[in-house]
């Protein structure tokens, strides 16, 4: 969407277009890095609770509950 705007805007200087394109690239990379970090964190929490649940079930079996 931004690139289409830039293509149709002859009044924006070339260096301004390059700056905006660099900003868009940085934004996309930041968004991708954040998504990967969030997914990794959720996976760690999921693994933690899965291990806790497994440990709780094993304890109940040993105690005969």
Q: What are the pLDDT digits (tens) for 15-63? A: 999 999 999 999 999 999 999 999 999 999 999 988 877 777 777 666 6
Between 13 and 34, name the one with better pLDDT.
34
Residues of the domain holding 46: 2-63
The 8-class DSSP code of residue 64 comes to T
The mean per-residue pLDDT over the stretch 8-16 comes to 88
pLDDT for 64: 64
When divided into structural domains, the chain yields a total of: 1
Q: How far apart are the C-alpha atoms of 4 and 41, rounded to whole Å?
A: 36
CA separation (Å) from 32 to 1, 23, 29, 39? 18, 14, 5, 11
| Angle in degrees, CA 6, 11, 13, rounded to 5 | 75
Tokens of 40: 């990794």
Tokens of 36: 């990967």
């Amino acid at each position: 969407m931004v690139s289409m705007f830039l293509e149709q805007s002859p009044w924006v200087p070339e260096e301004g277009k390059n700056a905006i394109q660099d900003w868009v690239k940085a934004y996309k990379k930041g968004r991708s890095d954040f998504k990967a970090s969030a997914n990794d964190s959720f996976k760690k929490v999921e693994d933690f609770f899965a291990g806790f649940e497994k440990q709780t079930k094993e304890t109940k079996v040993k105690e005969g509950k």
